[in-house]
Amino acid sequence: MRTKKCLTDGCENVGGTRGLCLACYRRLFMRVKRGKATWKQLVADGLAGRAQVYRHETKAQRRRIEMGSRELKVQWERFRKNAMIENRMREREGLPPKYPEFA
């Protein structure tokens, strides 16, 4: 990853949280805390960057979503198989399929 300089004009430190160095972040953080500014306004004015979700969090979240969709797929397959079996059983008895979408 490329290291970026602090967003503050004239500041030569390396940027971190919200694109700011620790000193600048603290300075703006105090302004926000005292109600003299909002992060939204500071971002709009180009004085701070957006809050970013930490890399390890997004990775964990993505993994959770992947696991969830895999589980859904398995459940869906199971449901489809059972529906088809049930349709066939009803067909044998001369009944209309319970799940026409799988008939």
Can residue 28 be called a binding residue for Zn ion (CB under 5 A)?
no
CB of 27 to Zn ion, least distance (A): 8
Can residue 37 be called a binding residue for Zn ion (CB under 5 A)?
no
Q: What's the CA gap between 100 and 84, in Å, rounded?
A: 9
The secondary structure element, H or E, covering residue 62 is helix 55-92
DSSP 6-57: -SSTT--SBP-GGG--HHHHHHHHHHHHTTS--HHHHHHTTSSPPP---HHH
CB of 74 to Zn ion, least distance (A): 50
Can residue 22 be called a binding residue for Zn ion (CB under 5 A)?
no
CB of 46 to Zn ion, least distance (A): 14
Specify the residue for token string 């009803």. 90
CB 72 within 8 A of CB 42: no
CB nearer to Zn ion: pick between 11 and 83: 11
Can residue 47 be called a binding residue for Zn ion (CB under 5 A)?
no
CB of 13 to Zn ion, least distance (A): 5
* Residue numbers at the binding site for Zn ion (CB under 5 A): 6, 8, 11, 13, 21, 24
